[in-house]
Every structure is written in C-alpha cells, then in structure tokens.
Amino acid sequence: MIEWLSGVLRFKAPQHIVVNVQGVGYGMDVPQSTHDRLPAVGEPVELHIYHYVREDQLSLYGFLTVEERDLFEIFIGTSGVGPKTSLGILSAVAIGDFARAIVDNNLAVLTRIPGVGRKTAERLVVELRDKLKKYLLELEAAGGPVAPRSAQVEDAIAALMQLGTKPAVAAGAVTKAARALGEKATSEELVREALKHR
C-alpha cells in the first residue's frame, strides 16, 4: 500500500494533481483544503496517501496532513459515504467545524455540504459522533478552534457562498475577518473584511 509520496508537483487542477516521483507520475484526487495549500507546479511536495482498492477501482487520494487522511478514512468507512462525498466534506468545511456539527447534531451545517442530504447527514451523526467527540477533545487539548460559530459568522459565510465563493474558502476568509474585527462584528462587517482575505 502507498501511504506517503515525495516528489515534484507536475500538474495541478482543482481536484486532481500529478506528482512526479523519480520519473513516475502518480495521479491522485485531493480535497480543496489540500489543493489550496499546494506549492506551484514544478516545486517539491510531500503528501500523505490513502490507497483506495476495490474490485473495479484503484485510486490514490492525497492530503497535506495526516489528520485529513485519517478523517477521510473514517468518512469512507461510513455506510453510504464514498470517496467523492468524503472529499466533498473535506473541501466544504473546516475539520473542526465539521466535527462540531456532528457532535452537536447540527444537520443544517451538514446538509450544506455538496452530496450530503438529510439522510446522509443523520447517518454521519450516528456513525461518527463518538469518534469525533474524541477528535474534538484532542483538538481542544492542542488549543485548536472548536467553539461553535456565531450566527453572524454563519450568515457571513452564507453571503460569501452566494457570491460564488467556495465553502472552504468562505469559511477561512470569515474566520480571519472575525479574528481581525472581534466578537461584536456584524455579518455585514465580516463580509466586507472577509472579501479582503479570499
């Protein structure tokens, strides 16, 4: 099984990349969260790999962090959730926010993820709640951002998405805006500030 690759980024598209490892091009799909942090084509890159094997499919999925790969593995182990939906989850929402939505049974957040309807969201909550409670405790112990988002932040993210911003990019930009402006910022102020960080 391939678990890690180090090489030169040969090709980069929104969900697919090719890494040249000593003359062999390894093609793999990646979540938006990884794509947005990749170096330029021609630069060295290291990726954690999930090697997906089925009777009719052999695919590689690449991640910049072990945590993303581990969560991807948890997701595809959930009934009714395949690799495409798993990548969609990682692309649409920050890991901490997804874990918080699962633990809090926040179906409104979960059903905003492309490919996740109400039934899938309910199944994700049932199957992942215990696993992600543990993840949140570990994240909290490491000083990570686990608090639920305010209504103003949620409204600002939704507004950016209506303007055509991808969910993960909108969430990141509004988070930066909220840090810059503080807790009392209105959703309108957050949107104006977030537009500087897209």
Per residue in 81-114, pLDDT (tens digit) is 888 888 888 888 777 778 888 888 888 888 888 7
What is the predicted pLDDT for the residue at 159? Answer: 84
What is the predicted pLDDT for the residue at 147? Answer: 47
This prediction's pTM: 0.64
Do the beta carbons of residue 96 and residue 120 sit within 8 Å? no
What is the predicted pLDDT for the residue at 80? Answer: 74
Query: Which whole number is the average pLDDT over 19-36?
Result: 92
Q: pLDDT band for 20, please (50, 70, 90 cuts).
A: very high
Q: pLDDT band for 145, please (50, 70, 90 cuts).
A: very low
Helices within the chain (DSSP H only):
32-35, 66-76, 83-92, 95-103, 107-110, 118-141, 151-162, 167-181, 187-194
